[in-house]
Each structure stands twice: as structure tokens, then as C-alpha cells.
Structure 1
């Protein structure tokens, strides 16, 4: 980072809200001359630098020591990660030491903070050094487009890597139709992008540091194009069109300099977009998981706290490979397009969709689950996907309830398939279709830790017999499922009734398990469900 960059400039650059200023005892106009990540040792100078105190502070004492040490070594500010309320003693220590204190947003990481600080310094530096940079300073990309138009004699568009127009100079009456449609549409038309790709111009743009010249072609005027890069990373491009007039003799040189000046502005744009996406993902994850300040999460997603909603979960059923990954990507796009207000979270092996619904209609969520099921089934090699719809809840603040139900529905569908009780191969469903099995799964989840810590005859029977092949457990499971009807259970197992009676007698004689006892039947029923279906 560069001398003369102030704390005020750093904070002004942070449009994404990565940092929050907790206090600045010496004001916001203190100079910042560099950055320290963690404790880089006594030999590394701290004078005028910002210290990134990586890792959360779990005690006021640890925070106070770190802040006082940074101040003693001449640091300007400390950035901390705050899990909950930051210790009051640490804030008092920063105030006493005269050092600024900033908190990192919980949805970011330290790489984001480091990128922000470096980019902010470069942004401030972009306003120095020559006429173009000086004229652009403080005006952003719009000012840069106007300045470049003056230096080159052409009409300017500045675009990101997705061909979206970020800024443009004034459009005169001589402007060609392509420029007009690009500016009005906010992006280069798809047909034009495809044409540029076929011609090889885009490949040249992505791989060259030079200004590319395109002579006039029919109704399309002469153009100059240059890539905007930070190191080898492509950030965007600047296009100059000679609309009804000749470009200046130094147009190419001016455009090359403009690409350098544009770098911090494009980095800021990318940070802004990245922060918006990460903040929304963090908020959606918080709502679906039921943690954090759910009112703030809903606000971040633009959702009313009184809007009814339901959650749909689509899970992939291994093996997980490139085709499965592509399938889930397609399902995520399908869910996002189902309705403009849908919020989608793509995780490693599943897609979660928060669906605002009108009038509490739970068929809408089931309809989305059905669409995802049909789409997944139509994709060759994509594997099996199960889609479950939770019930409608009256507020996104309760989305975790619907998400839990949707996840349980998926488990029910999987269990039915594994047990051979899904002849129609149904791979989507809702709470009504899952029925009482949802409550059974909830009970089993509560009972599981109790079972795993327990002991006694039933534990001995289950563990010993499963190690030997599981004949007794399968026989007992069939007997219990048939409500004690020996004949029906034997038919299901394809056994003679006397063979089944013998196995049940063995369970009693060897392990002391009496299936006539109600408590024993309850425990062994739960145990069989917990270890698997037979």
C-alpha cells in the first residue's frame, strides 16, 4: 500500500461492506502505508500499517494484548474478526492507545480484506501521475470513459468480462446502431459476441496486452480495443469507436494508459459484485440453517418478514463426478428461473431453493420439486436426484423449519427406494406424501445418541448378529413388521414358518431378548430402524 492513502479513502472504497469501523481515535484522515497479516515477527515494521489480526478473539484479554502490541509498534489500525459482541475492554484499549479498530464482516475471509486494502490503495494511486489519471480521479469509470473519449477522439464503452457495459461516453448522432443497442441493452448483443468469437478477436483480446485495431467494416466504424488486466487476470476491456470522425494520432497510446488507470475501478466493480453474492449466500445459508440474525438475513435478500415461503431440497445420490456436478448446476439454474423471487443455494451435493409463495399454496413448492425431478431424470449420466418440498411457513424467518422438512422428505424417498417400496420410482414429494414417516425420522434422530451410548441384550444381539450376516435381525424385523404374524413374516423372508420360529427362539435363548415384552419390542424396533432397513 502507498503513502498518502488515508483510512477515509480505504473505507470509501469499500462499497461491499467488508469492513466496519468500530472506532478511530485519531480520526479517519490518518495515513496508511502498508499491511501486516497476523504477527509477522518483531523484525517486520508496523509503522503506519494496518494489522489483520487473523482469527477470532475469544477473550477480551487476548484482543487487548494484540491491540496494544500493534499500537506500541506504530500500527495505524487493527482489523479483527468478530464472532459475537467484541470485548468492551479491547475497544477501550484501542481508544486509549489511539489506534483505529475495524471489524471484518462474518461473510468474508481474510483474503477478501487483503484484496480490498490493496485495491483501495491502487484506486487512490490511480488519481495521480498524469493528465488522464488526474482527470479521472474521484469520478469513477464514467469519468474515465469521458476522459478517454477526449484523448482518443472516439466514443467509449468500458465492459466487464461478461460483456456488460459498465460505463460509456456520450453518444452522438453519428453513433452506429451496434453502439446504440449495446448501450441501451446494457451489454453487447449475443449475436455480436458470437461473431467476435468466430472471428478470433476475442481470443486475441484475452491473450494480448496490445491495443487491437479493427478497421471499418460496412456500417461498423473503425475500432480500437484493449484488455484491462490486473497481473494476468482479465478484468474487462475498453472499446473505442470512430463514430463519424477520425481517431487521434495518439489514440492507441492513450487507450493503453486508460487500461492501466481502469484497473482499480474494475477491481472495485468485481469486489462489489462478489461481496453482494457472498452476502446473499451468507444470508440465505443463515435463514435455511436458522442461525444468525434472521431478520437481517431476510432484509439482505430483499424478503419481507411476513412473506410466506417454502424450501425445496434436491440431493444427488452418488457417485459424485463431473456429470453429477453439471446436473446440480443445471438444477440450480432451473430453480432460479422458476420465479424471479426464488433464492437458490448451491452446495457440494445438493441444491436448496427458498421459494416465496402466494397465499400459502404448498403445491407451488411441490411443483418446483417435480420440475427438478423431471429435469434431472432427462439428463444422461447425471445420476439419481431426490427432490423434497417442505411445508409453507408464514415467514422466511422460519425457513429452517421448512428446510428441515424438505430434507426429511428426501430421506423418506431414499428409504422407500432402499426398502423396495417405491414401485413407481417416484423421486420427488412433499410433507403430505411422506406422511407419518417424517415423525418417525425425527424420533430416530433424537433416539440415535441414546442408542449409541447404551448397552444390554438388544445391543449385543444387533451388533453380534450383524457381524455374522444379520439373519436374526432380518427375521426379527420381518416379524415385527408383520405385527407378530409368523406366517406373513415367513412369506416375506421366503422361509418355512418353523425356521422363523427357530430363529426367534435362538434370539431369546442366546441373547435373552423376549419379543413378548412390550418394552423389548419397542427398543428392538427402534434399534432395527437405526441400523438400517431389512
Structure 2
């Protein structure tokens, strides 16, 4: 699924030929280059921005363009009129390579490229940003601390080690080692096992997670210091980023000698030089990541061959699992801050246990967690930890976390997801109504079972209510149109089990005022609250309006 356009990329130029050479993943396909492949590309313009200002020496990404023939031709002419050197179209049903589109590019003298079907616009923006940064690094734009540019992750790791005076590992967000410096005999056991195993041991990741180091790593842009502790030597770590996105990390460990006083500055400078390499690695893997996400989405939503989805995710189809849903509070914080919070929580969930799988959707995070059958507390423990992390994030956005029951097998993950989403609704409604438990931000299905059943009943009867009519419908419709005073009064009255004094206290009213409003229900709308059927229908109507 395409995401929205990233920010504009502008940098020192490089040729179209160099960009294509950098793209060893095949995300871009050159269809036509009327002026040759040595045209200079100095930046990227997204979508319709090109209509507002010149785009000379820019590559235009046709974000939002239609995939039909007319929709593919028009962006080519528009980009050419603004002086762009190239335009990228989405590869869809062959429209990008249609003779009419090729003819438009030939006539305009503009290079025409197609975006691979497995990539999205964010992938392409990352590729181009990385290519430009990579070119700058090779031309001295991101020298290492010793003043010399380095090429290749292994060479970078060796150069950083020399500047920092310690052992270096460069890792992705899954704690896989992508490069490392030479290992001295004095290196500690964790470093040796990490390099031999190709990734940080799971027990070590759990330790870093519990200590708060990972939370700091995902949220900080500076070097984090971990003092020596027993047999574990002093360590420094910094996250490697591309814009707001965390791509991985660089770790420096003392190995029988103190780290250099300049080690922190060496890591800060190195992060900029390493970023293009990790972005390239991320793009190289994006096809496999997208296939994994598609399989996970199919399993969670019960679509396609669920057994095949499970096997492709490395799960035995009969393995029990639970699903968590993490949803930011839409009333708190901006969409960008909510997105950053979900990104950090996704990284943290993935680090909780190697078998945990995370699907980042636009407005929520879904987490599939293998667990022992009947042990719902395992998923609840992860929910509790994610709630703690969310509360400690800088400028934290409140989130609600629902944990579904453990499904008997991975094939039942969709049922656990349905419960997790309902739990989030229960938490939201309880907070809206106030009272006991209103500030609880996470829960498991087993702890709110009655409330889940009520939501299912309400969802079932909603179509019947909306198709009905009569005095209760008239009351609700008229009152909501006037501001909903009576509906809110009835909600408080029902929640207080008919206790006028308690309901009035919640509404900050005198009890006599509340009694007057209840009389209006009967006198104005002819609704007899003493009748059990009417009272039941009225209670359902109040809950279904959501005005609680």
C-alpha cells in the first residue's frame, strides 16, 4: 500500500546512471532516456509539487497519478514543462511502458522510469535519499572521524573502531550483525557470541529491553553510554536514522582498553556515513519484508491460505498464538507523533521475543505473539510492557492496548485479533464514561469478557435499531439534534443503576435537576421508563448512539 509522499530530497547531484547502479534491488526500471543516462539528478520532487515551482535537474515521483493511460501520459508532459530531468511512474498494468507514454517521454526529452510493483513511494524516496547521501560520502561529504571517507560497511566498522578505540558492530533493527571490526582477544563473551551467531543473543536483547537501553536507543538521536558492569565492558551505542526512521545501530565496546575520549563524537559522525548503507540494506530486503507483511496480514485477517501464511512466517500452523492491537488516542498528539510512537513500540515489541511478529498499519500496530495455550497472561505481560514504554516516550502519545485470548492455533489468529480490537473499544468507552478503571490503558480479553459480550450484542442489534422507529427513536433523534443533554443524562442514570444521587454527582447536577430531566423523557416523548421493555430499548439506544 502506498504511503503519502515524504519530504523533498535535494542534494549534490549525481547521474541517472549512478542512481541505477546504486539500485541493486531493482526498485526502479529505466524505460527510456532520450538524453542518455549521464543527465544530472540533483533532487526529487513529489506529486503535484512540480506544478508550483520549477523542478530543474529533479526527478519527479508521480505520486497519486492515475494508473490508466491518460493518467500516465499527463505527468510526463507536466514534469517536462517544469524542467525535470526524469519522471517515475507506478508500474501498473503496463501503462508506464505503453507506446503513448514512451512517445511522450521521447517528445519531451525526459527520462522515464517505472517503480517496481513490490516497492512503494517511500521505498523509492529512501533509495534516492540514500543514493545522494552515498554519493556525498564517497566524495568526502561524510568523512569519518579520522578525516578520510570510507566505502563499505566492513571498512566503515574498521575505521570507526580505530577512531573510537574499541570493537564495533553495525546492526539492523532486528539486531542482526551487518558488519563488525576485528575482534581482539580481550573482547567480552557477548561480543564473541554476537559475531559468531550473526546477531545479538536473545537473552541479551531482553536485558537491554528491561534496562531501558532499547527505549532510549529508539527515541534518542545522541550517543547512549552504558557503563561497565561486571564482566560486561563499557559500551556506547547510537541509532542510525534516515530522517525519522530508525535503520539500525552502531555499538562500540571497550575490549581490554578504555574507549577513546573521542569515541562519542566518532559514533555521531559515523551514523551519517552508515545511514546510506543501512538504507540500501533495508531497500534490498523490502521485497521479502513486504511478502512477510502480506502473509502476516492474511493470517491476521483470515484471508487466503492461512496454513501457507503460517509456514511462510516460520510458524507451525498448530502453534497457539495471541494478537495484540495497539491504538493511539486520536485526541492526544498529532498524527506524526502518534506514528513515531507506533514505530518505537513496534521495534520494542519485535525485541520482546524473537518469535514476535509486528504489522505496522496506518493508525495502529498489530502484534502476533506465539504463546502457550490457555496462558493469556503472556500476551498481557507484553501489553503491560508496551504501555510502560508508551508512557515514558518523550512527549508521549497515550495508547490503548488490547490483548486477545490465545488462539488454539495460528490459523485462529483472526479471532484473537477481533477480540484485541474489541478490548481497545472497551477501554475507550470506559474512559469516556469515567468511573472505576477509566484510566486503564491496557487489558486482556479474559479480564473484560462481559464488556466484550455487550459490544458484540450492540454490534448485532445496531442494524435493527437503525431500521426501527417509535417514541424511543424520536427521543434520541430530537435530543441529539439539540445537543444530547437527555441522552447523556440517561447514560449516567443507567450506569448508576438507577441511583439518582450518584448519577447527579457524575453529571455535576442537583438530584432534583436530574429528576426533572427524567420526567421530561415521559412527558415530552411519551417514553415510559417503568416499562421493562421500554427501559431495555432505551438503554440499548443510549449505548448505540455512542454519546456516553
TM range (shorter): 0.5 to 0.7
- Superposition map of 1:89-488 within 5 A: 89-93=95-99, 94-96=101-103, 97=105, 99-103=111-115, 105-106=119-120, 108=122, 111-122=125-136, 140-142=152-154, 167=179, 175=184, 177-178=186-187, 185-186=194-195, 194=226, 220=257, 234-236=268-270, 266-273=275-282, 286=297, 290=301, 302-304=313-315, 306=317, 308-313=320-325, 335-336=349-350, 338-344=352-358, 352-357=366-371, 361=373, 363-370=374-381, 372-373=383-384, 388-393=402-407, 399=413, 401-412=415-426, 430-435=444-449, 437-445=451-459, 457-462=471-476, 470=486, 474=490, 478=494
Q: What's the secondary structure of 1:2's corresponding residue?
A: strand
Return the offset for 1:37: 1.5
**Higher Rg of the two aligned structures:** 1
2:28 matched to which residue of 1? Answer: 21
For residues 150 and 307 of structure 2, what CA distance do their matches in structure 1 show? 37
Return the offset for 1:74: 9.0
Return the offset for 1:423: 8.9
**Cα 1:125–1:416, aligned 2, differ >3 Å: closer, same or farther?**
closer
1:86 matched to which residue of 2? Answer: 92
1:9 matched to which residue of 2? Answer: 21
Number of equivalent positions: 452
For residues 369 and 299 of structure 1, what CA distance do their matches in structure 2 show? 23
For residues 160 and 502 of structure 2, what CA distance do their matches in structure 1 show? 82
Q: What's the secondary structure of 2:417's corresponding residue?
A: helix
2:45 to 34, 37, 41: 37
Return the offset for 1:355: 0.9
Contact 1:310–1:402 (CA<8 Å) still a contact in 2?
yes
1:241 matched to which residue of 2? Answer: none
Q: What's the secondary structure of 1:311's corresponding residue?
A: strand
For residues 269 and 475 of structure 1, what CA distance do their matches in structure 2 show? 54
For residues 218 and 408 of structure 1, what CA distance do their matches in structure 2 show? 51
Contact 1:36–1:52 (CA<8 Å) still a contact in 2?
yes
1:381-402 CA distance string (max 9 Å, x none): 9999865322445776874543
- TM-score normalized by the length of structure 1: 0.57
> What is the root-mean-square deviation of aligned Cα atoms in Å?
6.7
Structure 1, unmatched stretches of 5+, are 204-216, 238-262, 483-487
**Cα 1:156–1:474, aligned 2, differ >3 Å: closer, same or farther?**
closer
2:8 matched to which residue of 1? Answer: none
**Cα 1:277–1:507, aligned 2, differ >3 Å: closer, same or farther?**
same
Contact 1:320–1:349 (CA<8 Å) still a contact in 2?
no
Q: What's the secondary structure of 1:54's corresponding residue?
A: coil
Return the offset for 1:59: 3.9
